Amino acid sequence: MSAETEFTDSTSENNNCRVLVTGASGYLAIHCVQQLLQQGYKVRGTLRDLNSFEKANPLRQLANSDQLELFRVALEDDVDLWRKAIMDCTYVLHIASPCEMIADETIVEIAIRGTLNVLRGAAQLQCVRKINCLIIASDASHLPWCYCARIHIGYHTLPFNPSRNEVNGAVGHKNRTKLFTENDWTNLNWKYLHPYHRSKTLAEHTAWNFMEKNPDVSFSLTVLNPSLIVGPSLQSAKGSSVTIISRFMDGSMPAYPAMKLGLVDVRDAARAHILAMKDRKSNGQRILITAKTLSFRQIAKTLREEFAKYGYRIPRIRALYIAVWLYSLVDKEALQALSLYGHEDNFDNSKAFQLLGISYQDVRKSLLDMAYDMIERNILPRKKYIEKKELV
């Protein structure tokens, strides 16, 4: 059966398909695993360490986990091991990514090698029909999702009074209010570009170059470019999204910087992966996955209206640039925010609707669901009695 064949949603057909999900314990990946299992697919998930209770146990607790197999492999492992991981899989959701804590060019090498390992491993087999690659922050409109990640910068590089053309454009683009589409890419020549973002862009270039040079492979490629992913987690590990919302809620952000970010619910992002996986219209496409743009003022207002009554100190005022600059001298997360001060995410998300027919949840509800979930998982302290929310 060719890669162009379109598949239905019937559970009986899904039962005959195995899907490989790389980095299966991650914030988005575990939602993909959950939804695939709910739809009757067999799933093989890759982990760096099968003995990590923190990583493996949430996966094993999912409904229908008897249809889940865990496989130990790391991005930098040999392609032969990746071929074994991919064997007998009809689809691959490549979501694994090198940790953003790696602040040097090593992360670029790992990201590229991991992407090539998956593609080369699949090319050695005839079972794979489709590979979906998740490339967060590859597209020009996607950098801000990790502005608050705990990344070691090493030294202060941003000037006191930066040119808006240099600093405030999304991923090095001069127009900070530009409407981004799938035709836009990260500016690799931007002097403030972090290796993590460079790795994402180069990994995607690597994937498309591989497909161009190997037109006879059995599978097609789709790349999904989500904005900042928010919403409840299925595991307790802290990621960049959790860090951002934590800082709004835990009092460590006395004022919010002037910026706007694109948001998408993690459950919608996972659903988009599965829709793209099954629909041949997405073959050979890169697709923005984003629901709505919110300013930090709007995010703070949404959280404050729900949680201030419980005692959470959520910022009410905007931080001036000079204040963020001074704070960035001693706080690496503030340094990331400084590089995006005045930034706005504006984009056209119509392609996802046209190709996948997807509609998105209200991201304000996603933010509230996420915060309640963080309280239940003790990521945020429980200030006062809060009833447990039923999340959908």
Q: What is residue 101's predicted lDDT score, i.e. its pLDDT?
A: 55
Q: What is residue 166's predicted lDDT score, i.e. its pLDDT?
A: 44
Q: Which residue has the tokens 């589409």?
A: 181
Q: What is residue 336's predicted lDDT score, i.e. its pLDDT?
A: 61
> What is the DSSP annotation of 213-229?
H-TT-S-EEEEEEE-EE
Residue-level pLDDT, tens digit, the chain, 392 residues:
333 334 445 565 677 899 999 999 999 999 999 999 999 999 999 999 999 999 999 999 999 999 999 999 999 999 999 999 999 999 999 999 886 555 577 889 999 999 999 999 999 998 899 988 765 533 333 333 322 222 222 334 444 444 444 444 445 555 666 788 899 888 888 776 778 788 888 999 999 999 999 999 999 999 999 998 999 999 987 777 888 899 899 988 888 888 888 999 999 999 999 999 999 999 999 999 999 999 999 999 999 999 999 999 999 988 777 776 776 676 666 666 666 666 667 889 999 999 999 999 999 999 999 999 999 999 998 887 676 665 55
CA 115-267-198 angle, to 5 degrees, is 30
Report the C-alpha gap between 100 and 301 in whole angstroms: 29
Question: Which among 68, 119, 87 is positioned nearest to 222, based on CA atoms?
Answer: 119
Q: What is residue 116's predicted lDDT score, i.e. its pLDDT?
A: 96
Q: What is the CATH number of domain 11-374?
A: 3.40.50.720
pTM here?
0.86
Question: Which among 161, 87, 164 is positioned nearest to 122, based on CA atoms?
Answer: 87
For 164, the enclosing helix (H) or strand (E) is helix 164-167
Q: What is residue 168's predicted lDDT score, i.e. its pLDDT?
A: 41
Q: What is residue 191's predicted lDDT score, i.e. its pLDDT?
A: 72
Q: What is residue 144's predicted lDDT score, i.e. its pLDDT?
A: 33
Q: What is residue 318's predicted lDDT score, i.e. its pLDDT?
A: 83
Domain-wise residue ranges, the chain? 11-374
